[in-house]
Every structure is written in structure tokens, then in C-alpha cells.
Copies of this chain bind each other. A is one copy, B any other.
Amino acid sequence: MTSNQPPLWRRAVAELVGTSLLVMIVVGSGIAAQQLSPNDIGLQLLQNSTATVLGLTVLILVFGPVSGAHFNPAVSLVDWILGRRNGTGLTLPELGTYAVAQALGAVSGSVVANAMFEVETSISVKDRATLGHLLGEVVATAGLILLIFTLAATKRGVLAAPAVGAYIGAAYWFTSSTSFANPAVTVGRIFSDTFAGIAPASVPGFVVAQLVGAAAGLGLLLILFPAAARTADDVVLPHDSAKTSS
């Protein structure tokens, strides 16, 4: 953690607004897809995934210099774990703050998406927790963690925005679960009974699978890039431009 990092309250705002916009993108484009292409679920998913690739890339560009653009408690958790080894990364209280901001943001994103499309906010009834989907979440989250922290470990944090966007866009399709890969977003998606929704009963299984995937991704990272633990702070502040925000 460098000394010219933005204050925690500002980073929490960035995580909250960024995660809110991320869920707005996922849920909102899902509603649009469902309304405009009612006859082909695959086409709906293509519209949903295309919007997410583009939107997530932009969100990481915008909020990265402030908070690192985690938008995801699994990412913040791994950042904390890696940082403990070498005194960088998030501290435990910061991790807690990030996670709360992400969860609040995620829920608000669903609510605003519903309002934009004049759909009532209600609890999703879409059961998603099959064995295949849980395996999908393990794979999706492992890949996401491996990607983000590989880029940090190899000093390529500047590529995180398009790379994470592209990864999620692929994972929508190659994992059976359409790649939630994010506990906060999973919780936020409870609050829209539309294309991207998830029933509350499916959430615990998804979150556990995501944590297992995060652990697997972290293990693979340490096998492939043993130096990763020494460079974790690159995730939080991926480029010099962050200095202009203080």
C-alpha cells in the first residue's frame, strides 16, 4: 500500500458505485435482452454477455485508480491474503469495508436496473444450484483470480480492464453457471426476478463454490508465479495515474 493512496472512504465510494453499476449492467442488459429477443435464450445471453464485456472493462478503467476496482469480495479477500505475506494489500478492516460497500452497491444496482425498466423489485425465483453449475462457479472464480493476480504479478495491471472484461465474457459461455464468480454480485442478483436473477436458496452454494474456486485460483497462481505474493499491491493501485486522484 503506497502512502499516496486515496482515503478509505473514497475507495469505499468507488467500490460501492462501481459494483452498483456492474450489477446494473448485468441485470439491466438481461432485462432488455429478455424483452427484445423473447424467442431465443442464447441470443439473450449473447446480448447480456456482450454488454457485460464492454461495461465491465469501462468500470475497471474508471474506478481502478481509486480503489483498484475489485467489485468482488473474493478478489479483495485474495488481495488481503497475498498482502499479509509481505505487508501490502488490503488490511482486515479495509477488507471488511470493501465487502460491505460491494454488497450494498450490488443490491442497489439491481434496484436501479429494475426502476429503469419499470420492473418491480422482487426476489428472484430462479433456482441455479445444480452440481454442474457449482462446478462452473469453481472454474469461473479460479480463472478470474488467476487472471487478476497474474497480471499484477507480471506488472501488467494496466491490462486488467480489457482482460477481466474479456474473461467474464468468455466465462458467461464456457461455464454452465454463466459465471457469477462474485459473492457480492450473486447477492445483488437476488433482487431482480428477471433474466439475471438468482433464487436466495441457490446463493449459499454459489458463494461456497466461489470461495473454493478462489482458493484453487490462488493455489494455481502460486505454482505458476511464485513471485506473486511479493507484488499483490499492484492490484489495488494498478497504475501511476492513481496519484492524480489524491
Interface residues of A, Cβ cutoff 8 Å to B: 10, 13-14, 17, 21, 24-26, 28-29, 31-33, 35-37, 39-55, 57-58, 61-63, 65-66, 112-113, 115-118, 130-133, 135-136, 139, 143, 146-147, 150-151, 153-156, 159, 163, 166-167, 169-177, 220, 223-227, 231, 241-242, 244-246
Q: Are A166 and B36 in contact (CB under 8 A)?
A: no
> Smallest CB-CB separation from A53: which chain B residue?
B54
| Bound Cα distance from A36 to B153, whole angstroms | 37
Q: How many copies does the complex hold?
A: 4
> Smallest CB-CB separation from A31: which chain B residue?
B176
Q: Are A150 and B62 in contact (CB under 8 A)?
A: yes
CB distance from A134 to the nearest CB of B (A): 9
Q: Which residues of B contact A171 (CB under 8 A)?
A: 55
What are 15 A-B pairs with beta-carbon distances under 8 A? Answer: A28-B173, A28-B174, A29-B170, A29-B174, A36-B40, A45-B47, A54-B170, A55-B171, A57-B163, A57-B166, A61-B163, A112-B139, A117-B176, A118-B130, A118-B176
| Bound Cα distance from A116 to B244, whole angstroms | 45
